[in-house]
Amino acid sequence: MVGVDREGIAAGRPQFVTAESFATGTTVSLDEAAARHMRVLRLGAGALVGVRDGQGSIGEGQLVQLSKTHAHVEITSVARIDPLPPVHLLVPVADRDRMLWLAEKAAELGATSWRPVLWRRSRSVSPRGEGVNFQAKVRARMEGALAQSEGAWLPQPFPEATVERAMLAAPPGDRVVLDPGGAPLVGPGACPIGQPLVIAVGPEGGLERDELEQLQAAGFRSVSLGPTILRFETAAIAALAMARTYLGGVATTDIEPLDDPREGQ
């Protein structure tokens, strides 16, 4: 959803994600996971690969050195891809495996940011996805999904937050919370979707009444995805896909990185 077409730079090449910025003529170092993948693919010196930084830059390069722990790629061409309209996800802290699956799909569909929320019912889940080590796993899954889908922009990941903190940190714009009793997100009877869009997804078992009231007081409107109750990861992906289709591929406002001064405290 976020990538270039098959005639674009690096299309059809093995794809890798780097945290380094790059330009034509520079050499980037890829990590051990990328090096292992290259060995599985039996790539050797001179092989052409695609490299992306998750911040809109897509490059093609030539593998110049491969070891057990690193791969070095000389960049031969670079393109910049504009970001999609901003769609931010507030996801529940929930079962680890299901959160990781959702993280992959969020990257494929071009979510702008990802913030797990400790809803009241999240606290009864075990094992649940939280903590620094889990955050690293989320990013690794997102990077793999970005490479596979030939995307250009990684979701900006945030650590888990309380309901109050998540609402304070959510950017201004159109705010929706998935609720079976709400109006349709799209279709007849739906309100226009604005941007930036923030989608709040509740935990397994649903939001408590006071949590829903907190969200509504913070400007979130209740929206429904249909007549059936969906699992949280299904609901998040369905809502993100609907929003992406509705908003199209061109952002109408300048997009600034989310900056929460409370992060890391």
Question: The CATH number of the domain where 22 resides is what?
Answer: 2.40.240.20
Is 56 in the same domain as 130?
A: no
Q: Kindly tell me if the per-residue pLDDT of 168 is higher than 50.
A: yes
Structural domains in the chain (count): 2
Q: Do 71 and 107 touch, CB atoms closer than 8 A? A: no
Q: Do 24 and 75 touch, CB atoms closer than 8 A? A: yes
- Amino acid found at 58: I
Parallel/antiparallel/unpaired status of strands 27-30 and 71-80 = antiparallel
What number of CA atoms fall less than 13 Å from residue 195's CA on the CB side? 21
φ and ψ of 66, to 5 deg: -135, 125
Whole-prediction pTM: 0.86
Is 30 in the same domain as 145?
A: no
Is 110 in the same domain as 224?
A: yes
pLDDT of amino acid 252 = 47
Three-state DSSP at 192 gives coil
pLDDT of amino acid 11 = 66
Is 50 in the same domain as 120?
A: no
From 5-9, 36-40, 110-114, 166-170, the region with the lowest mean pLDDT: 5-9
Cα separation, 74 vs 63, in Å, equals 6
Is 61 in the same domain as 138?
A: no
Burial class (CB in 10 A: 0-12, 13-18, 19+), 204: middle
How do residues 214-241 score in pLDDT, each as one tens digit? Answer: 999 999 999 999 888 899 999 999 999 9
Average pLDDT over residues 116-124: 94
Query: Helix-strand-coil percent breakdown of the chain, rounded to 5?
Result: 30, 25, 45
Is 65 in the same domain as 119?
A: no
Question: Does residue 204 form part of some domain?
Answer: yes
| Domain end call among 41, 61, 80 | 80
Question: Does residue 5 form part of some domain?
Answer: no
Cα separation, 34 vs 147, in Å, equals 11
Q: Do 232 and 202 touch, CB atoms closer than 8 A? A: yes
Parallel/antiparallel/unpaired status of strands 161-162 and 113-118 = parallel
How do residues 3-32 score in pLDDT, each as one tens digit? Answer: 444 456 666 789 999 988 999 999 999 999
Is 189 in the same domain as 235?
A: yes
